[in-house]
Amino acid sequence: MSRPILRAERLSKTVRSGDSPLVILDGVTFAVEAGESVAIVGASGSGKTTLLGLLAGLDRPSSGDVWLDGHALSGEDEDRCAALRQRLLGFVFQSFQLLPALTALENVMLPLELAGADDASQRARAWLDRVGLGKRGHHYPRQLSGGEQQRVAIARAFSGEPKLLMADEPTGNLDNATGREVADLMFRLNREHGTTLVLVTHDLDLARRCGRRLSLSAGRLVGDEKVGSDSNFQPPAAPSPEGEGKLESDPTFSEGNRGLSPTAG
């Protein structure tokens, strides 16, 4: 078996709540191979966002460890964790976390510029096009709706073409059609570029499309099943009616279908 791209070993997180400790995560252990698509599901408050933050090295566990592409995060300082994230990881936060002082385009350009891309602006524009916001690049996050900010955050996470994409409720603020399009885009990346997906979601359709489902309950991993039909591990499917499989040539989203005019906003 190849080296997992992500491994969690007895991951626990406890915080103080008044006088008593509050256990948020309790001994979570699993490994993800490159190219897998994994849904993390569980009731609200079960620890999903906390787990994702630990997996990305954005937060530190109380005990246990995370290995990202073979690097134990406990052995890395903040700078080296940030460098690992930059090299490997795209992250979509539940609360978007766009930088308010930057336009949509500048937000998407940021990871590309950090990686030293000399065509950052062009590539960021292409990603904004793909999420249906090609004409909104000059708008600041406060000028965008929640769903639009979510799509900018998704474009930003994709723009560096990471090996590993972690997303916290990536379709949570999107209508059904847009959510499906975002999911289509993620699974195309998974199939065509081997991008590993780790998605926290309440969206049953999205969870169903993942090759594997991890279930959390009250901070414990209570289920780990192979499921789904869009896993990278399955033979390539015939192109669907939506034209899946044309990532390079076809923008997934069409602004025209969304009622956005070039001067909208």
Ligand X SMILES: Nc1ncnc2c1ncn2[C@@H]1O[C@H](COP(=O)(O)OP(=O)(O)OP(=O)(O)O)[C@@H](O)[C@H]1O
| Residues of this chain that bind ligand X (CB under 6 A) | 15, 17, 22, 24, 42, 44-50, 94
Select the binding partner of residue 24 from Mg ion, ligand X, none (C-beta < 5 to 8 A, by kind). Answer: ligand X
Between residues 24 and 124, which has the closer beta carbon with respect to ligand X?
A: 24
If 0-12 CB within 10 Å is exposed, 13-18 middle and 19+ buried, where does residue 21 land? Answer: exposed
- Sole residue written with tokens 């070993």: 9
Between residues 50 and 107, which has the closer beta carbon with respect to Mg ion?
A: 50
Phi, psi of 192 (to 5 degrees): -90, -30
Phi, psi of 134 (to 5 degrees): -55, -30
Joined tokens for residue 223:
């289920």
Between residues 35 and 219, which has the closer beta carbon with respect to Mg ion?
A: 219
CA distance 35 to 244: 18
Residue closest to Mg ion when measured from CB atoms: 49
- Least Å distance, CB 71 to ligand X, is 24
Q: State the binding string over 33-72 for Mg ion (x if CB under 5 A, else -).
A: ----------------x-----------------------
Between residues 46 and 190, which has the closer beta carbon with respect to Mg ion?
A: 46
- Least Å distance, CB 213 to ligand X, is 15
Please report, for residues 67, 75, 78, 98, 221, the alpha-carbon distance to residue 35 in angstroms, rounded to integers and kept in the order given.
Answer: 16, 25, 27, 27, 21
Between residues 24 and 182, which has the closer beta carbon with respect to Mg ion?
A: 24
Decide: is 178 part of the binding site for Mg ion (CB under 5 A): no
CA-nearest of 134, 138, 153 to 254 is 134
DSSP conformational letter for 238: P
- Least Å distance, CB 12 to ligand X, is 12
Joined tokens for residue 131:
């999420």
Amino acid identity, position 181: E
- Least Å distance, CB 28 to Mg ion, is 15
- Least Å distance, CB 48 to Mg ion, is 5
